[in-house]
Amino acid sequence: MASCGSDPLDSCYEERVGNLDCSHAEFNNVDLSGRDLPYIELRSADLEYADLSGSNLEGANLVGANLAHANLAHANLEKADLGGTYIVKADLSGANFTLANLTNVLWNESDLSGADLRFAEFGRSLLVGANLRGTDLRYTDLSTSDVGGAVADSSTKWPDGFDPVAAGVIFE
């Protein structure tokens, strides 16, 4: 992880007391693990290979951000807005996405094992090849999302009426 002796968030400005605006920031390979960053603005930020594991990103705005290869394991993204985000080959295991906006997200080959996605908005997302083992997808609408080739197991929880086999999910 990159380290230059100062806080990588120093380049952001405080939008209002306690809220940082880091829109369009370059945080490639930066360690922000375990940080308390509720409602942070990260619109169109480049977070490729960034470590946000265990961070509190509740209510964060990540619209259009690049999270390819990022580590968000066990991060709290409750009520976050990730619309149009690029999240390919990222580690999202155990993350909390309850009530998050996940429309038009590209999740291909990402690890969502054990993640909580209850009540999340999923419209037109691509989860091709994603790891959904043990993931809780109850109370979501996957009808316009592509889960073909995603991998699940018997502990994966699906929305009522959703047929994962018909949608092309692979069970292991």
pTM to 2 decimals?
0.93
Mean pLDDT calculated for residue range 87-105: 97
For residues 1 and 155, which has the higher predicted lDDT (pLDDT)? 155
Distance CA(111)–CA(134), nearest Å, equals: 11
Please check whether residue 46 is in contact with residue 64, taking contact to mean a CB–CB distance below 8 angstroms. no
Mean pLDDT calculated for residue range 17-38: 93
Q: Which residues contact residue 4 at a Cβ distance below 8 angstroms, ignoring those fewer than 6 apart?
A: none
Please report which confidence band the pLDDT of residue 13 belongs to, taking 50, 70 and 90 as the band edges: confident
Mean pLDDT calculated for residue range 80-104: 97
Q: Which residues contact residue 67 at a Cβ distance below 8 angstroms, ignoring those fewer than 6 apart?
A: 47, 48, 50, 85, 86, 87, 90
